[in-house]
Structures are given as C-alpha cells and as structure tokens.
Amino acid sequence: MKQAGWLSTQESAFALLALGKIARQNARSTATGALTAGSQPLATFTGPDLTVRNVANRALTLRAAGQGNLYYFWELAGISPTTPVREEDAYLKVRRQFLSRTGQPLGGPTFAQNDLVVVKITIQAADAAGEVKNVAITDLLPAGLEIENPRIGAVRELDWAKDAATPDYLDVRDDRLNIFTTASATPRVFYYLARAVSKGTFRLGPISADAMYNAEYHSYNGAGVVRVK
C-alpha cells in the first residue's frame, strides 16, 4: 500500500480486509510496555490505547513484555527554528503577502505592536492541471500575530479589496487559518485581518496548499521570520 501511487476501490477493500485479520490476531496479544525517559518512568501500556504528551527533546526507552505485537508512533507538530522548510510548487502555486490597512505591501515583515495587518492569500493552478477541486490552504500564524477578522467582507473600511473570493469552507483556529477552495489558472485571492500582539522575533511557517485527493498537487512557500517591535 505504501508503494502504490493510488488504489482502486477493490484494492482498498482487500487491504481493509487484511488489516482486519491483523487486528483480530492482535486482539489475542498479551503484550505490555514500559516507557521511560532516562531513569524516570513515564507511562505503562497494559492494553488500552495510551497517549503520552510533551516528550519532545527527551531520550525515550520503550521496553516490551508478554506475547504479541506492540505498536507505537511518534507525532511531532510545529516549525523548526533551525531546519529550513522545503518550498516548491507542483501544479499549484500559493502565495502569502502582508499588507497595510490601505493595501500597501509591508516589508520585512516587521510590524509595530498593535498593528492591524491585512494578510493576502493567492492560489492558482498550473495550466496543465486544469481545475483542481478540494484544495486545502493552511496559513500558520507566527506566535506574535492573532487573527482579528477572517471574513474580509465584514470589514467595510477595506473597500480596496474588491477581488476577494469566497471560500468553499473556512476553518478558523487559534494558530492558523484553513481555507478550502477550487484552484484554476485564474488566480483566486482571499484576505483576512491579523493583529500584532506580542513583541519579539518569531518563526514564520510556510503557507501550504494541498489537493486533498492527490498529494502530487501541492505548493509550499513563504517561510521566514516575523518581527514585532
């Protein structure tokens, strides 16, 4: 399944049946596990699913006992302060730009505390891709900014933003904005407002666009640093 570029409905069904047989075998497992960080015990697995949080940057040891298989995975989220983020365009092109209240580009980007920042997002598909439906755009905010108003249509003083498109769906969270839309050769533009709330230098993650049903169609761009004075 890992090697396949895509699976037919029948292949997916056979794979699900195989996974069900594995799950049935594992139901008879008596495996247990002990998780430690150095000499400090963190958790003990005795059967039910176990989640252990806040273990980044710690040397972990997992010791298994009993009969059967023990499965685990590691999940890490965030933006590395040192490792460069890969940026590329594959059939999609997404760009983010920081603007002033009057629509002028902000350089740096460097903001003053309490500045109102207009974030402009542009998405476009390559001519060869045609119309790409179900594109998910994720804009991760640096720690110094907070979303002020994700719905540009409600902000009457920004009357210059006449090219604003309407997303198929909008998901607003504390640290990011998710936009779901259709991309084509004609650029689509979205705006939202953010407020510079905390002074400091913050890592800025890339804005990303991914076709939800075809991972080959994607775009990552705009990683860097944001300064709030």
Q: Are 126 and 214 contained in the same domain?
A: yes
**What is the radius of gyration, based on Cα positions, of the chain?**
23
Is 77 inside a domain boundary? Answer: no
Is 176 inside a domain boundary? Answer: yes
Is 209 inside a domain boundary? Answer: yes
Q: Are 103 and 56 contained in the same domain?
A: no
Q: Are 32 and 113 contained in the same domain?
A: no
Q: Are 111 and 179 contained in the same domain?
A: yes
For 104-138, the pLDDT digits (tens) are: 998 778 999 999 899 999 999 999 889 999 999 99
Higher pLDDT residue, 57 or 67? 67
Q: Are 55 and 97 contained in the same domain?
A: no
Q: Are 46 and 147 contained in the same domain?
A: no
Q: Are 55 and 117 contained in the same domain?
A: no
Q: Kindly state the average pLDDT of the residues 55-81.
A: 84
Q: Are 175 and 99 contained in the same domain?
A: yes
Is 121 inside a domain boundary? Answer: yes
Is 83 inside a domain boundary? Answer: no
Cα angle vertex 185, ends 154, 141, to 5°?
45
Q: Which of the four pLDDT bands, split at 50, 70 and 90, describes residue 26? A: confident
Is 153 inside a domain boundary? Answer: yes
Give me the percent of the chain exceeding a pLDDT of 70: 96
- Does 152 score more than 70 pLDDT? no
Is 4 inside a domain boundary? Answer: no
Which residues constitute the domain of residue 41?
9-65
Is 129 inside a domain boundary? Answer: yes
pLDDT at 157: 64
Q: What DSSP assignment string belongs to 125-191?
A: E-GGG--EEEEEEEEEPPTTEEEEES-GGG-TT-TT-TTB---SEEEE-SSEEEEEEEE-SS-EEEE
Q: Are 185 and 93 contained in the same domain?
A: yes
Domain count, the chain: 2
What's the mean per-residue pLDDT of the chain?
88
pLDDT at 146: 92
pLDDT at 29: 87
Report the range of poorest mean pLDDT among 16-20, 71-75, 138-142: 71-75
